[in-house]
Amino acid sequence: MDPLIASREPLAVCATLAYVGQLGDDLLARTLGISTYDVSRVSAELVRAQYIYVQPDGPGWWLGLTPAGRAAYRRHLRALGA
Q: Where are the domains of the chain?
A: 8-77
pLDDT per residue as tens digits for the range 50-66:
999 999 988 889 999 99
pLDDT at 59: 87
Tell me the pLDDT tens digit for each residue of 16-54: 999 999 999 999 999 999 999 999 999 999 999 999 999
Instruction: State the Cα–Cα distance between residues 15 and 80, nearest whole angstrom.
Output: 13
Q: Is the CATH number of domain 8-77 1.10.10.10?
A: yes
pLDDT score for 10: 96
Is residue 82 predicted with pLDDT exceeding 80? no
Q: Which long-range contacts (CB under 8 A, 24 or more apart) does 33-40 make?
A: 34/9, 38/9, 39/13, 39/63
